[in-house]
Structure 1
Amino acid sequence: MLKTGLFLLTLFCSLSLTSPVIAADSQRVISVSNSNLDPVITSPDAFLGYPLGQWHLRHDQVNYYLKQLARDSAKVSIEDTGQSHEARQQLTAVITSSENQTKLNDILAQRQTVKSGANQAGPLVIWLAYSIHGDEASGAHAALSLSYFLASSKEPWVKQLLDEAVVLITPSQNPDGMDRFSTWTNNYRGQTDVSDSNHKEHRQNWPNGRTNHYFADLNRDLLFLRHPETRGRVALFHRWQPHYVGDFHEMGRDKSYFFQPGVPSRTNPATSKPNQLLTEKLAHFHRKALDGLKQSYFSREGFDDFYYGKGSTYPDINGSVGILFEQASSRGQVQITKNGELRLSQAIENQLATSISSLKGCLALKDELIEYQSDFYQGRDKVLQRGRQTGFLLGAPANRARIEDLTKLLSQHKIKFYYLTNTVNQGGIDFNPDTSLFIPINQPQKSLLLAMFDNSTEFEDPTFYDVSSWNLEHAYHLQMVRNSKLDIDVLSPQAPAKFNFKMSEQAVAVLVNWQQDLAAPMLQALLQDNLLVKFALKPFTIKVAGETKKFPAGTLQIPLKQAGHTASEIKDKLVKLAKQYPLNLYSVTTSASTSGIDLGSPSFKIIKPIKPLLITGRGTDASEVGQLWYYLDSKLSVPVTLVDVGHISKIRLNRYTHVIMASGNYSSLDEQFARQLGKFTSDGGTVIAQKGALTWLNKNNLLKSDIKDTRFYLRLFDTRGLSYGDKEKLAARQSIGGAIVELKLDPSNPISFGIRGNRLPILKNMAIGLTTSSTPFTVAAKYADEPLLSGYLAKEYQASFSNNPAIVLETRDQGAIVGLADNLMFRNIWLGSEKIYANALYFVPALN
């Protein structure tokens, strides 16, 4: 490649005789160069004061440039979709003709009729979204170049495009990760470019810029919507209901360029054939554009279209056509790869080329894209009728907060649901109006609804780029009747009135059923106010307002007689908390139960305030660390101390009540720290460890239960007679990308308190297990006899996991170790098993 100067590469243009020209300095710069541009429009180079790509962009520079374009051009306006966790604005440029800009409200009103199946009027809507992984920076740079080109170009095909279409451009979908990355790589860039991949410019610190503030992969969050960045993105999608979505990424430096279609046999069966046909037609435009640049590429391998929680697949189940683009990454300015030298400027150039080919392809296929989307919503099964309907009847007994969380999720996905007005008994289950929902199947969002509750266990190709199941019935641990028939006319779109907590004047204590999700954050608030709270080791019944009521083990008791607090102060605090955390509280006027333990029983254990420490840093799984941090920080409001693994041995562990270890290898921790941690538990501390962390604990004689690791499970697969061509199929069977399995709980073990029944669905994505311990009373949960509930899990794994331990609680003098073979709060959507962590935090320390 040339080392100095500018060279010109002419892009393919199918709709006119003229073409936009990309100018690229082979060392560092990239821009759109064309004499037919409006000089009034500020270019990225002029705005930045240096050529685009010379330095990695910060998110604020992206936002300020979009605002500058909106000031310069009547073709550009701005959509604000809210803030990231770190309060960075998420902006999208809306680029269309000046005439269309004056009619945006009318256009948006038309877009809101799409799901009704009405004949479409108005322009084509194209959404190009970039850099959802913050360290995949070429996309964000290409987005600025493209925005400038569309705002300033006078070419006939661009004029036609903006007359007939609205183009949405989101340069950065992960503001916090983008800034983490750009700060790092810019900090370690010198005057002379270094292409050595070992140079710090190319090797980010932990955590890297791929993820957001809580180390979450936002390109896995589109179904779950746990993070504000994704919620804003999905809101924008349904506001505009685009016909086409381009999702621009980067991949390993030694690859070339990928665009969909992906592996045909790994496309989700719910994605229609017409969708895949349009994907292939659009691919012709990308091939021609990249061939014009002499850039090699590939399709139909490596990536799939299965999991609907990604940016390129969520559109496919919502009436749009989504396309994934993957560019080999230079990470910094330049790296040596197996294919030679790869520069940021080359990556930007490729992303810009396929961005323009997307626009030209959409314009050429405009009628087909509109027809496809119209057909998607015009089926009779996509119309919500009145009267009796077949649908999903869902319940979360004694747990209104979980239903409220689900309703928020459904609402954001535009899925219609109803509340019960009376108790309904179906399948031998009572569904209470306060904690139940009915979701009719025949509705505009039927395709997405069925995908979110899919229960498949058989697949044409058992290879998955991500998880093989994400069934919300199991994630929320719901009771469910799949073919319920109810009359919608007697249901209600309005939520029932919330529980009205009234404190009796004669009350001696207040009780809180621990099965409620909001019980844990309320408990934390009480402990932070130094109030005494106890939990029940055993179930009991007691009279509440003259009626006998059952309370399960784990129930919280707040006595109204406490040293340092008056009864009036405690009552005021509880009334306030009952409004802040809408859950059911019950005041009782006696300590005498009608059966089971009395309120003054020693089987009510005092809960002590907690001060957890979470180990972070290289060697730990960033995504799992982030999920634990998110839960402790955002849901429980616990001040959690994050300590890097390289610094942990210098910490006085006795200052903390818990040490939490996400999955990881922890190979940097030595025997000296193992002794420190052993003393910590002996002196009363609690260790909560999961997955890979268990191996380190076992090797250092801290965990008595033995570990079955990947090597053990791989030996279960019979490889006799296999040919070289069977290698990939075997690897697919041996992989656990993510399947839903069932645990059998010991309901008497405090680790299981607050979980309905003795069965618990979890997401398993690692070949690791525990052996049956010779020490009695340590196994809190085992995998079920037939563990697979949903998704793909090889028969060899199913047989080996069956009836083997999944959760252990090992006591050690005054402390304990809680060992989890799985991540029980997978992507913070696994609400059904979150309580395990709360029990380990609040209940386990009280057992010794």
Structure 2
Amino acid sequence: MKKTFCAAVLLFITSFSVFAQLKTPSEFIPNYGKQISYYHQVEDYFTYLTEQSQFIKKQKYGATNEQRDLNVYYISTPENLANLEQIRNNNLAAIGLSGNKSATVDDKIIVWLSFNVHGNEFAGTESALTVAYELLNPSNEATKQWLKNTIVILDPCINPDGYSRYGNWLREVTGKKNHPGLYDREHMEVWPGGRYNHYLFDLNRDWAWQTQVESQQRIKLYNQWMPQVHTDVHEMSYNSPYFFPPAAEPLHEFIEQYQKDFYNVLGKNISQKFDKQNWMYNTRERFDLFYPSYGDTYPTYNGSVGLTLEQGGIGAGREITMENGANVTIKDRLTHHATAVLTVVESAASQKDVLLKGFRDFHSNARIKAKGVYNTYVLKANPKLDQLAEMLKKNDIEFSYADGSGNASGFHYQNKKNESFKIEPNDLIIKADQPRSVLTQVLFEPNQKLNDSLSYDITAWDLPLAYGVEAYAVKNNLSVKTKAKIETAAKTVPASVYAFYVPWNNRSSAQVISLLHQGGIKVRSAMKKAVFGSITVEPGGLIISRADNPKIADFEKTVSDIIKIKSDYSFITTGFSTNSKDIGGENFVLLKAPKILMLSGKGIVSTEFGATWYYLDETISYPVSIVETSNFNRVKLYNYNTLILCDGSYDFSDDQKKQIDEWIKNGGKVIAMSSAISLFQDREGYALSLFASKEDKEKSEKEEKEIELKKRFLDFEGSERREISGSIPGAIIENKLDKTYPMAFGLGNTYFSLKTNERSYSLLKSAINVAYVPKGYISYGFVGNNIKKKLNETVSFAVDKRGDGSVIYMMDNPLFRGFWENGILLFSNALFLVN
């Protein structure tokens, strides 16, 4: 008995001794604070912490494209960790997202800490190690007090692929000695940089859209917890002083006072810590709270206090001399972050009751009365609703479909007018009265109130316009009968089919043609409407006929297996149309399978390249050869029929330009986006020109000179405001379509383009102006006064036919951030339908 007792005491003492001697990050990772840690070292340290401490628990919530683990760590008292599931359910039950409230577990405040959404802002992940250590440190009595009523959810690296890309590069280019001078290669990151994920997407712009696998997996877990505080840890230019809340204007009008109050609490508490160390900082500058897909705004619109912390460090490498002569090191950067983050946890713990009340009132009040003008959003039945419904599901936004008809009136997104309309079966209906009421309204309110035009990001994102779906915002609740989903009847394919018809109306159409081309199956596309009995083939519709594919043994099964991903396909039993548009006639054009070359590398905008790469690789799974621009001379261009030039600067030689010119004349197709179109501007043989005539050019130059003369009398203080009058940070612009041309097929009556630059070209002569901005156009979001009038009657998308080939000019990027669904269809048109 005595031996057993002694053994137990010894075990307790040994265990206590282990916990009391928890290793710091510096003791565990060689050169911590002096060199970037490998991602596996970060994971190893957290594994060590979970093995040595009872105050931390790990959960793997996913994996990246490059198969690195995505993990969160729950940090709290052992008692709280034992009741995590009850605490989570209680939190959701309090805001109407769960009915499983337990009376035996006290309310806790949940603080989620996210680090390193941008891979090259690596001091975030480095600081996460110190934050975790201090929260677990047995000798830190303060943190143990915080954890009694707090659940910390710590994600040490949101973007492991980008972090690893940057980290491996930095270690490869650095030696034993630091080089704080500006002109060392460790301060000159190479293309594409470590900021972005595998597909070069900016994950900090992807919270709401969830195009990327990291976002999808993380936000699924986030929505299962719904924290009261979310901290997004970043870095910015190395010369910048530290930033913490309060945020800058514009602040979205739906942000509650309790959220603003806590921003002020944080500002005061963090500033006190920084003042004691004489660290420089700023608040209420640059970083606003408006665009809904950030790591601070998305949580904020879900009732949390979402906030950004920014440390100067991008481009600093291991150490750099700032413009004030002081050096900033990795240790400095991670220490500043750790101090600020721990202060957030401390402040949240001290404000627990206030935050819990504000969080719960946020959700209950939003359901009682919509914050916005409208209570219901009606989106007319359309195949594009399939993708919109998927996005809503990812965000846990409730919706239903009309199961009857009715009359209503509301704001029409497409013409910005109030009008009467008819609700019909299968219209998608979204109510503001739902648990995620505020987020729903932020995403669907047609006119976002921008209380300051100096915004950090795009200022409009109206989803019906992004998806190309006719929609109405209605002020009152609707009484129409609804259903949870649209039932589609299973198709029975007959034993003998003359041809299959696949409508061209959403991204699934592009996925189908991708599979058909890769399967070596010949496919045609309709130029005009054709009628075959009860089947109406709309322009762009795909026809797969037995006659074009005589070598396919089991034609019906082979084709139906491929096209079944599109539920609205049909089959045709005759090639004879009732409106003189027979399948064997000139109305049905045989499509060429694209053989694609895309250029990458220095000078090309990483995210714009990434958006196109992602579209090809993930959205439609179509093969593409990607070649660095420096290796362009090694390419035999005649092996390809399609060349994609993403936004960027292309330093082609005169010989290379001539090579491209000849290739186009012989049947090649170039898709040039944004600044890449400048390669063809004012060049002999091409239609692209800024001005339609010499007179227009002279008039514009005269106006610019007059503006410059007037500027002489203006004060300096207002220069920034005046500058934005000629800018368009991101607004939605109406475009008129040439619906008779294949590049416009399936887009609807009007195309709304997301314009993120000031580029404007007059309507082109001797070219096909597929989409252009009409005079007196409709717009959403901020458009500077000077640029607003310049956009009238300017072209957005055009096709320049040269010889047997063509150049497709895209002044705006239709694949921007991967969420502009109608833009995905437009790009698919350019790729597959424009021969």
The TM-score with structure 2 as length reference comes to 0.90
Where does 1:354-503 land on structure 2 (aligned, <5 Å)? 354-379=340-365, 381-382=367-368, 390-397=375-382, 399=383, 402-422=384-404, 433-434=425-426, 436-456=427-447, 459-483=450-474, 490-493=481-484, 495-503=485-493
Q: Of 187, 190, 206, which residue of structure 1 is paired with 2:191?
A: 206
Residue by residue over 1:352-381, the C-alpha shift from the partner in whole angstroms, topping out at 9 and shown as x without a partner, is 110111121112222211111011112163
Q: Within 5 Å, which residues of 2 pair with 1:743-822?
A: 743-757=735-749, 759-775=750-766, 777-822=767-812
The aligned counterpart of 2:645 is 661
Q: Report the CA distance between 1:626 and its aligned residue.
A: 0.7
Number of the residue aligned with 1:65:
45
Displacement of 1:608 after TM fit?
A: 1.5
The whole-number CA distance in structure 2 between the counterparts of 1:455 and 1:94 is: 39
Q: Which residue of 2 aligns with 1:690?
A: 673
**Partner Cα separation in structure 1 for residue 786 and residue 369 of structure 2:** 44
Match of 1:724 in 2: 716
Q: 2:731 maps to what in 1?
A: 739
> Equivalent residues in 2 for 1:300-319 (5 A)?
300-319=284-303
Q: Which residue of 1 aligns with 2:55?
A: 75
Is residue 433–residue 496 contact of structure 1 (8 Å, CA) maintained in 2? no
Assess, with a 3 A threshold, how the Cα gap between structure 1 residues 36 and 313 changes in structure 2: closer, same or farther.
farther
Q: Is the 8 A contact 1:207 1:617 kept in 2?
A: yes
| SS of 2:500 mapped into structure 1 | strand
Cα distance in 2 for partners of 1:597, 1:573 equals 26
Q: Does 1:327 align with 2:304?
A: no
Equivalent residues of 1:498, 1:582 under 8 A apart:
no
1:95 has 2:86 as partner:
no
How big is the shift at 1:795?
2.9
Indicate if the aligned counterparts of 2:403 and 2:480 stay in contact, CA closer than 8 A.
no
The equivalent residue for 2:26 is 45
In the alignment, is residue 230 of structure 1 matched against residue 215 of structure 2? yes
Q: Structure 1's 424 and 78: CA in aligned 2 closer, same or farther, altered over 3 A?
A: farther
SS of equivalent to 1:625: helix
Give ranges in structure 2 of 5+ residues lacking alignment: 1-15, 410-419, 692-696
> Shift of residue 600 of structure 1?
1.0
Match in the other structure for 2:603: 619
Picking from 155, 158, 161, the partner of 2:143 is 158
Preserved contact between residue 377 and residue 430 of structure 2 (Cα < 8 Å): yes
Deviation digits for residues 46-103 of structure 1, max 9, x if unmatched? 433x142232122232223222211211111112221112121111111000111111
The aligned residue for residue 96 of structure 2 is 116
- What is the alpha-carbon distance in structure 1 between the residues aligned to residue 94 and residue 175 of structure 2? 52
- The aligned residue for residue 20 of structure 1 is none
AA partner of residue 363 (structure 1): A
User: Quick check: 1:79–1:93 contact (8 Å CA) kept in 2?
Assistant: yes
Query: Which of 43, 51, 56 lines up with 2:36 in the alignment?
Result: 56
Describe the shift of the 1:498–1:793 C-alpha distance in structure 2 as closer, same or farther (beyond 3 A): same
> For residues 553 and 841 of structure 1, what CA distance do their matches in structure 2 show?
16
Q: Give deviations 1:296-340, integer Å, cap 9, x for gaps.
A: 101111221111211112121111111211101053111121022
**CA drift at 1:446:** 1.5
The 8 Å contact of residues 116 and 383 in structure 1, kept in 2 or not, is answered as: no
Partner amino acid for 1:589? T
Q: Distance in 2 between matches of 1:798 and 1:197?
A: 40
Matched, 1:105 2:105: no
Deviations 1:425-476 (A, max 9, x none): 6567666645x31111112211111110233276332111011111111111
* 1:484 CA drift (Å): 7.3
Given the alignment of the two structures, is residue 258 of structure 1 paired with residue 249 of structure 2, yes or no? no
The reply on whether 1:598 has 2:582 as its aligned counterpart is: yes
1:178 aligned counterpart, secondary structure:
helix
Cα offsets for 1:546-585 (capped at 9, x unmatched): x3x332211111002345524x522112221243x13311
* Paired residue secondary structure (2:198): coil
Report the CA distance shift for 1:37/1:259 in structure 2 as closer, same or farther (over 3 A).
Answer: farther
Aligned twin of 2:417: none
1:558 to 519, 541, 544: 544
Matched, 1:268 2:260: no
Q: What is the letter of the counterpart of residue 395 of structure 1?
A: K
2:225 matched residue in structure 1: 240
Q: Which residue of 1 aligns with 2:11?
A: none
One-letter amino acid of the structure 1 residue matched with residue 472 of structure 2: V
In the alignment, structure 1 segments of 5+ residues that lack a partner are 1-34
Where do residues 127-206 of structure 1 align in structure 2 (5 Å cutoff)?
A: 127-206=112-191
Q: Within 2, Cα distance between the matches of 1:687 and 1:342?
A: 46
* Structure 1: distance between partners of 2:166 and 2:823: 33
Indicate the residue corresponding to 2:618 in structure 1.
634
Distance 1:682 1:729, change over 3 A: same
Deviation at 1:127, TM superposition (A): 1.1
Matched length: 790
* Distance in 2 separating the partners of 1:716 and 1:797: 16
Deviation at 1:523, TM superposition (A): 0.9
Contact (CA 8 Å) 1:785, 1:803: kept in 2 or not?
yes
Cα deviation for residue 716 of structure 1 reads 8.9
Partners in 2 of 1:674 and 1:761 — Cα distance? Answer: 33
Contact 1:685-1:816 within 8 A present in 2 as well: yes
Check whether the contact 1:114–1:241 (CA below 8 A) recurs between aligned residues: no
Shift of 1:39: 3.6
Separation in 2, partners of 1:395, 1:174: 37
Question: What letter is aligned with 2:352?
Answer: K
Residue type matched to 1:732 in 2?
Answer: I
> 1:520 aligns to what?
510
Give 3-state SS (helix, strand or coil) of 1:409's partner: helix
Which residue of structure 2 aligns with residue 249 of structure 1? 234
Distance 2:80 2:572 in 1: 64
What is the DSSP-based 3-state SS (H/G/I as helix, E as strand, rest coil) of the residue aligned with 2:829?
A: helix
- Contact 1:396–1:477 (CA<8 Å) still a contact in 2? no
For 1:178-208, what per-residue CA distance to the aligned partner results, in whole angstroms no more than 9, with x for missing partners? 0110011111110111112231212111100
Q: 1:111 is aligned with what amino acid?
A: N
Give deviations 1:261-288, integer Å, cap 9, x for gaps: 122x411122123211210111111101
Secondary structure of 1:116's partner?
coil
Q: Does 1:347 align with 2:333?
A: yes
Residue of structure 1 equivalent to 2:10: none
- Kindly indicate whether the alpha-carbon contact (under 8 Å) linking 2:256 and 2:362 is maintained by their aligned counterparts in 1: no
How far does residue 642 in structure 1 lie from its aligned partner after superposition? 1.3
**Deviation by residue 1:792-834 (Cα, 9 ceiling, x = unmatched):** 1023322211122211111111100000111112211111122
- Output the CA distance in 2 between the equivalents of 1:531 and 1:249: 49
Report the more deviating stretch, 110-119 or 689-698. 110-119
TM-score w.r.t. length of structure 1: 0.89
Give distance in 2, aligned partners of 1:630 and 1:424: 41
Which whole-Å CA distance do the structure 1 matches of 2:779 and 2:471 have between them? 14
